[in-house]
Amino acid sequence: MTELIESGRIADLILVIIFIEAAAFCGLVLLARIRLPILGLLLNLGAGAGLLLALRAVATDAGWIEVGAWLGVALGAHLGDLFWRLRSRAEIGSV
Instruction: Express each pLDDT in 56-70 by its tens digit.
Output: 999 999 999 999 999
The angle, 0 to 180 degrees and rounded to 10, between the axes of the packed helices 9-30 and 38-59 is: 170
Q: pLDDT-derived band of residue 33, with 50, 70 and 90 as boundaries?
A: confident
Query: What average pLDDT does this structure show over 7-24?
Result: 93
What pLDDT digit, counting tens, does each position of 37-63 carry? 889 999 999 999 999 999 999 999 999
Q: What is the pTM of this model?
A: 0.84
Q: DSSP letters along 26-81, please?
A: HHHHHTS-----HHHHHHHHHHHHHHHHHHHHHHTT--HHHHHHHHHHHHHHHHHH
Query: What average pLDDT does this structure show over 7-15?
Result: 91
Count of CB atoms within 10 A of residue 47's CB? 20
